[in-house]
Amino acid sequence: MAIGAILGAVSGYFGGWIDSLIMRLADIMLSLPSILLVMVIMYTLGDGLLNVFIALSVLNWAGVARVVRTEALHLKGTEYMEAARVIGVSHGTSILRHILPNRLPVLIVLFTLAIPGSILSESGLSFLGLGVQPPDASWGQMVNAGRQFLYYAPWISLAPSVCIMLVVLAFNFLGDGLRDVLDPHLRNQ
């Protein structure tokens, strides 16, 4: 989230060749098959929770950057940004004090909606044996461990699968509720 928010704010604020460079890089990241890219990163870095976080960060920054860029382009033309420019506020201060704090509700909603995808990606990687390794626990590992007992004791795989489903649904509902609360356009209706 932080990488995407900063790159999106810089892209929208400066425009020009910086915007083109960052957005083309984001387009490339979005065009690659996500699970394949994460698998390549995990094979390269090795197993472990930290490497899962790195792989998911490399994968998910582009979508956040595109949303924040759009918001930064909108804020760039506002009166208070013009006033900050006229009184000599630096570019970094404008981005950190004006653009990013004003997009905080959008970032909160994006964060809560990105968590389910990350949970599913981590579970999928752990199911395939590329994610978190024993003795650390992972729902994907638990589903994989119970796979051989599906005919005799299906609850071994079913219980972690239901947990994944419930947590993903809970975060989706939380993100949707936060969007309804934090979006001023929806509040006025």
Residue 164 has pLDDT above 80, yes or no: yes
Q: What is the tens place of the pLDDT at every residue in 134-143? A: 888 889 999 9
As a whole number of angstroms, the distance between CA 123 and CA 120 comes to: 5
Q: What is the pLDDT of residue 93?
A: 84
Handedness of CA 134, 127, 118, 7 (dihedral sign): positive
Q: What is the pLDDT of residue 20?
A: 92
Residue 106 has pLDDT above 90, yes or no: no
* Domain spans, the chain: 1-102, 104-189
Q: What is the pLDDT of residue 175?
A: 85
Q: What is the band of 42 on the pLDDT scale with cuts at 50, 70, 90?
A: confident
Q: What is the tens place of the pLDDT at every residue in 3-21? A: 888 899 899 888 889 999 9
Residue 144 has pLDDT above 70, yes or no: yes
**Looking at residue 189, what DSSP letter applies?**
-
**Angle between helix 2-14 and helix 49-76 axes, rounded to 10 deg:** 30
User: What is the average pLDDT value for the chain, to the nearest integer?
Assistant: 86
Q: What is the pLDDT of residue 186?
A: 59
Q: What is the 3-state secondary structure (H, E, C) of 65-85?
A: HHHHHHHHHHHHCCHHHHHHH
pTM: 0.80
- H helices of the chain, where? 2-14, 16-31, 34-45, 49-76, 79-86, 91-94, 100-102, 104-128, 139-146, 155-182, 184-187
As a whole number of angstroms, the distance between CA 136 and CA 157 comes to: 17
Q: What is the pLDDT of residue 170?
A: 94
Q: What is the pLDDT of residue 189?
A: 61
Lowest mean pLDDT among 104-108, 123-127, 173-177, 184-188: 184-188
As a whole number of angstroms, the distance between CA 81 and CA 152 comes to: 65
Calculated CA dihedral for residues 106, 162, 37, 46, nearest 10 degrees: 110
Residue 24 has pLDDT above 90, yes or no: yes
Q: Would you state the structure tokens that stand for residue 107, as one six-digit string? A: 């970032």
Average pLDDT over residues 54-83: 86
Cβ-contact 138, 132 below 8 angstroms:
yes
